[in-house]
Amino acid sequence: MGAAVQHINRRLVITVSVIAVAAVTIGGAFAYRTGPAEADGRAAPLTGSPTPTTSTPTPTPISRTTIASRTPSVKPSATPPTKPPAAGATVTGPTKVAVAVSKLPEGREPQVPYLVDREIRGGSGEVVTLPGTGGVIAVGRLGEGALAIVQDGNDGTELLKTQNDKVVRRTPDVTSLVTTRDQSAAAYAAARISSLGAAVKGGTVYAETTTSVRSLKLPDSWNLQVLAFADGKVYFRAASAEDGPWTLYSWSPGASAAVKVKSVVSPTAVSANGRIAASMGTLNDSGSCSSVVEVGSGRQLFRTCDNQVSGFTPDGTTAVGGSAYGDGYCDTIQVALAVSTGKLLREWKGCFHQSVAEDDQHVLIVAVASGGGGDPGTKSAIIRCTITTGACELATPISTDKALRIGT
């Protein structure tokens, strides 16, 4: 993010879920096809090569602005809850809300990491300006440092780790990133794509804390992508063939193999506690159908052909997402759905690039105020919308031709 804006056709290609339409694409995408598959509650191993990873720092000066340190208010659950999900938020007012970004009041800044142009802000840490000119695809926080996936200038990507004013490590070919909400751990996947945008066989999953890095090589995987770091496990998806459906796996860092989660077919998201997952079981030229299921049992909580589910609130009671048919420069709706029933709690209408649950009651959305299509002069902002009331506010000022991205 931070250069020209390009469109991604979500029906035909999936880059990684961390890449928004507003981001600069990385010269290609992962082609994929999902198909029906039988789900059950059994687990099977995906073998690979676990490797304790060390790095040789190559310090590169970066710009840093000191801000007050904030203590994260939300920490991941140590043990996934066993009770059924709650009914979701109690909502008031109209279910469907049209958003006029230019008329929204100013609110507080996002309380999760986010990107403005080349600056990583938010979370607990300092404002960091990333070096270079390549597009920034994803950002997150790890301890007092920051992580960013950027274009490397050679039709590829790399993960930058920053610490104390410097880039201390570069990991090549990383295309997806997730972090825990308390900034204590991160997971990322290296899954190289060709200069023509085609998927390349093989990849590596990494799990990093503030004190160690572990990795698992997966030479036979395709379209590898991390989805969550929950309850000490990394959840990722991969395919066994270039055009095959996604399969969900869980990996305990240090283990010699990942475990196949057969209860979830073609996964698109996993909740912060690892208990709930979204899957896309149907995809064609007319749209898609998504289901939300319990990871442990495979029990389907609801199915929708009106929306794609892209994530969950931290407590796992509300799913967030967009339209089922993801064509166009931007998504025209963002939604909040009750996980227990699939009931539409809220639908916001506008021109949107990304939505992420900030907490159990609020959704952060990258929204276009005017312009569009990646044309010069496009104005946009990150907005905060309340699930219970539908009201929205500016979480960042409206800016012109600046890349915006909500972090993990």
Domain positions in the chain: 13-87+111-314
Query: Given the structure tokens 């991969």, which residue do they identify?
Result: 238
How many CA atoms within 13 Å lie on the side-chain side of 253?
Answer: 21
- Please give the single-letter amino acid code of residue 201: K
Per-residue pLDDT reduced to its tens digit, 340-351: 999 999 999 999
Per-residue pLDDT reduced to its tens digit, 39-88: 444 344 555 545 544 444 444 444 443 333 333 333 333 334 434 445 55
Q: Class of 13-87+111-314 per CATH?
A: mainly beta
Best mean pLDDT range from 79-83, 189-193, 373-377: 189-193
**22 pLDDT above the threshold of 50:** no
Query: Given the structure tokens 């340190």, which residue do they identify?
Result: 69
Give how far the C-alpha of residue 394 lies from the chain's centroid of Cα atoms, to the nearest Å.
21
CB atoms within 10 A of CB 203: 27
Could you tell me the sign of the dihedral formed by the alpha carbons of 378, 379, 383, 388, in that order? negative
User: Averaged over 214-223, what is the pLDDT?
Assistant: 97
Per-residue pLDDT reduced to its tens digit, 85-128: 455 557 889 999 999 999 999 999 999 999 999 999 999 999 99
Phi, psi for 102 (deg, rounded to 5): -65, -15
Can you give the pTM of this predicted structure?
A: 0.81
Q: What is the DSSP letter of 101?
A: G
User: Averaged over 24-31, what is the pLDDT?
Assistant: 34
Per-residue pLDDT reduced to its tens digit, 292-336: 999 999 999 999 999 999 999 999 999 999 999 876 789 999 999
